[in-house]
């Protein structure tokens, strides 16, 4: 069955349908990862977005449910050059077409994803419609589409407790749309983890007497979360060690009075280079974000950039002066992706030890 992608600038790509049979409007973004497509599809940071895979063949090792990073199917659509109908992997429990059908995610294949990626790189992220009939797309409504209410849609609705076998610390993890590997990285280091909804008041969190507070990744415009930012301001004054990742990093910056901006096409993939500002060392990181903290808005008496993106110089981390607070834009838990930055979890446990 023919299916089309119509971009808000009028460009039309004809391909073939797979996955769920439905039409959607979404923000079209690309990711450069060669593997970890299931982890990508289950990453809540993709809420409201149509994911374009730049790697041309997707699905060759099948679907393994235990590799999922959440139990949510939040991606609006999935766009690939080619999908593998006969995967080969001893762990595989199915193929990607059946997975997308079950998840309710429409797929589009057989288009020139390289040409599509070049348009997004040159023109910036734009909205797109997946449709059977391009002539019926309401272009005005397409251009007006915005991703809103993303954190509330992706955050847990109840408190969930994960007990560490050899508990050394107790960490409250604020869920803004978290990837499961964040909790696994903490449990691995002897941290019992209490996952709480994004809008949990600071007083309620502090009443749990945590040794540390973790702020997860998540989707959407960080500046939209005004009430959450106000609660984070209170948490920053508590003296409890805090570690923020991705959206958590951005929200911490906003809580300190800094600014964020939307990037032209964002950073998504498992091969993004970041540089330690102090040492000059470059690390390869996994990333998935469309917004960044504005370096020029960071007040030097409060904080300073700790990492920057090698490709475009945008902020990738902040060191807060005199505070037990650590935050980075990339994903040190990286699943799938490079393990270069896992040591940041050890730095966080060092804060909790008072080191």
Residue 158, domain CATH: 3.40.50.880
Do 195 and 113 belong to one domain? no
Q: Cα–Cα distance between 323 and 325 in angstroms, integer?
A: 5
Which CATH number characterizes residue 41's domain?
3.50.30.20
Decide if 333 is catalytic.
Answer: yes
The DSSP 8-state label assigned to residue 92 in this structure reads: -
Do 135 and 164 belong to one domain? no
Do 25 and 133 belong to one domain? yes
CB 244 within 8 Å of CB 212: no
Decide if 331 is catalytic.
Answer: yes
Phi and psi, residue 93, nearest 5°: -120, 15
Q: What is the DSSP string of 132-150?
A: S-GGG--HHHHHH----SH
Annotated catalytic residue within 109, 236, 331, 335 = 331
Q: C-alpha distances in angstroms, 2 versus 14, 18, 68, 78, 85?
A: 7, 10, 30, 15, 18
> What average pLDDT is seen over the chain?
97
Do 245 and 162 belong to one domain? yes
Decide if 249 is catalytic.
Answer: no
Phi and psi, residue 137, nearest 5°: -75, 130
Task: Give tens-digit pLDDT for 37-64.
Answer: 999 999 999 999 999 999 999 999 999 9
Q: Please identify, among 106, 130, 147, the residue that sits at the C-terminal boundary of a domain.
A: 147
CB 104 within 8 Å of CB 20: yes
User: Can you list the residues of the chain whose pLDDT is less than 50?
Assistant: none
Res 134: pLDDT: 97
Q: Cα–Cα distance between 355 and 347 in angstroms, integer?
A: 9
Do 213 and 288 belong to one domain? yes
Do 259 and 273 belong to one domain? yes
Model-wide pTM > 0.75? yes
- How many domains would you assign to the chain? 2
Res 354: pLDDT: 84
Res 227: pLDDT: 98
Compute how many other C-beta atoms are within 10 angstroms of the C-beta atom of residue 44.
28
Do 142 and 162 belong to one domain? no
Do 156 and 284 belong to one domain? yes
Give the closest residue to 61 by CA, choosing from 34, 92, 82: 92
Q: Please compute, for residue 309, the number of CA atoms within 13 A of its CA located in the half-sphere on the CB side.
A: 22
Annotated catalytic residue within 109, 246, 267, 335 = 246
H/E segment holding residue 290: strand 282-293
The tokens for 53 are 């895979």
Compute how many other C-beta atoms are within 10 angstroms of the C-beta atom of residue 297.
15
Q: Which domain holds residue 326?
A: 151-353
Chain-centroid distance of CA 226 in Å reads 20
Do 282 and 312 belong to one domain? yes
Q: Please identify, among 99, 121, 147, the residue that sits at the C-terminal boundary of a domain.
A: 147
Q: Please identify, among 112, 147, 182, the residue that sits at the C-terminal boundary of a domain.
A: 147
Do 184 and 272 belong to one domain? yes
Do 175 and 320 belong to one domain? yes
| Longest alpha-carbon distance in the chain | 63
Do 43 and 102 belong to one domain? yes
Work out whether strand 282-293 and strand 260-276 pair parallel, antiparallel, or are unpaired.
Answer: antiparallel
Res 70: pLDDT: 95
């Amino acid at each position: 069955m023919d299916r089309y992608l119509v971009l808000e600038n009028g460009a039309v790509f004809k391909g073939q349908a797979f996955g769920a049979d439905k039409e959607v409007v979404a923000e079209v973004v690309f990711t450069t990862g060669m593997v970890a497509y299931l982890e990508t599809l289950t990453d809540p940071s993709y809420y409201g977005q149509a994911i374009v895979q730049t790697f041309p063949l997707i699905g060759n090792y099948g679907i393994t449910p235990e590799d999922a990073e959440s139990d949510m199917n939040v991606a609006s659509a999935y766009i690939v050059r080619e999908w593998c109908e006969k995967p080969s992997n001893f762990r595989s429990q199915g193929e990607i077409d059946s997975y997308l059908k079950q998840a309710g995610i429409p797929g589009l294949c057989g288009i020139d994803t390289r040409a599509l990626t070049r348009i997004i790189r040159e023109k910036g992220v734009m909205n797109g419609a997946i449709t059977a009939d391009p002539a019926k797309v309401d272009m005005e409504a397409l251009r007006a589409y915005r991703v809103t209410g993303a954190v509330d849609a992706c955050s847990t609705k109840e408190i969930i407790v994960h007990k560490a076998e050899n508990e050394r610390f107790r960490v409250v993890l604020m869920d803004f749309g978290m990837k499961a590997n964040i909790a696994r990285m903490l449990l691995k280091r002897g941290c019992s983890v209490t996952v709480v909804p994004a809008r949990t008041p600071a007083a309620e969190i502090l009443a749990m007497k945590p040794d540390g507070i973790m702020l997860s990744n998540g989707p959407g415009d960080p500046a939209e979360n005004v009430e959450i930012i106000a609660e984070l301001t209170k948490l920053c004054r508590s003296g409890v060690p805090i570690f923020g990742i991705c959206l958590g990093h951005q929200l911490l910056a906003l809580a300190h009075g800094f600014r964020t901006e939307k990037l032209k096409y964002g950073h998504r993939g498992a091969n993004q280079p970041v540089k330690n500002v102090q040492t000059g060392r470059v690390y390869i990181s996994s990333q998935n974000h469309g917004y960044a903290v504005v370096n020029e808005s960071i007040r030097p008496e409060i904080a300073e950039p700790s990492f920057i993106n090698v490709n475009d110089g945008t902020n990738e981390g902040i060191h807060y002066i005199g505070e037990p607070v650590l935050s980075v834009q990339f994903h040190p838990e990286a699943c799938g992706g490079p393990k270069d930055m896992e040591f940041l979890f050890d730095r966080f446990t060092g804060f909790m030890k008072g080191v």
